[in-house]
Amino acid sequence: MTLPDWSQLHEQKPAPEPLLLVQLFVNTRDFDQGTDLLAEATTASQWLHQAGLLAPEATAGAEDLRAARAARECIRSLIARNGGGPALADDDLRPLRAVTRASQLRLAIDPAGQVVLDSGDRGRLTDGLLSLLLIIRDAQRDGTWSRLKVCGNPDCRWVFYDRSHSRRGAWCDMASCGNLIKNRNLRARRGGQTRPAGGAARAARQPATS
């Protein structure tokens, strides 16, 4: 899978392809900036076309986008599990299970001669969402999935790829989210508080340089 030229420009800690597409999809919602690229049909359709998740001639309707946003937050919760987040209940998984029930999977042969599952031509948004689940499945098998994490700043929740040797990375950016939360928690302990302080907005993200 070849992603658009813009793909890595939005990530400080990009995942390898094709897992990068899952990271980009989840990060269409920016809690820090209060923006959501899947909130409005025109903007959402443009992004989904560029990402190859929706056929060029198709437009995502309101119901499609509601399903996409629900699936996105479900995937974010799955990623949070990689950093020690809570297990998901059956109700939490409902948006993704709806995608699988609507799927039209078929066997295909890739250029390397491997037999693979294919979600079709991605004409429907459901097909595009299913392709993300297939990427997740492959990443879980090759070991890259566990490195995809959600920032430990509860006000951020940006998805990043942990390339550290220890696999213990917890922040999308240590200089902003990491230090901010550590300093607030330190002040909370010194002040006799028992509840860790939440995070504020992190510093503006810079384009990836590698």
The angle subtended at Cα 28 by Cα 86 and Cα 32, nearest 5°, is 75
Average pLDDT, the chain: 85
**Opening angle at CA 25, ends 196 and 175, nearest 5:** 40
The confidence score (pLDDT) of residue 86 equals 93
pLDDT band with cut points at 50, 70 and 90 for residue 106: confident
Least confident of 85-89, 120-124, 188-192, 201-205: 201-205
What is the mean pLDDT of the segment spanning 101-122?
Answer: 82
**Which of 33-37, 105-109, 196-200 is predicted with the least confidence, judged by mean pLDDT?**
196-200
Phi-psi region of 167 (alpha: psi -120 to 50; beta: other; left: phi over 0): left
pTM for the model: 0.82
Is it the case that residue 195 has pLDDT exceeding 50? Answer: no
- Quick check: helix, strand or coil at residue 177? helix
Please give the Cα distance from 178 to 181 (Å, whole number). Answer: 6
Are 145 and 82 a contacting pair, CB within 8 Å?
Answer: yes
* 98 has a pLDDT exceeding 90: yes
Separation between Cα atoms, residue 163 and residue 84, nearest integer Å: 17
pLDDT at position 188 is 58
Separation CA 132–CA 75 (nearest Å)? 9
- Predicted confidence at residue 202, as pLDDT, reads 42
Residue 182: the pLDDT is 61
Q: For residue 94, which phi and psi values (nearest 5 degrees)? A: -55, -45
User: Which has more confidence, 127 or 117?
Assistant: 127
Is pLDDT at 5 greater than 90 in this prediction?
no
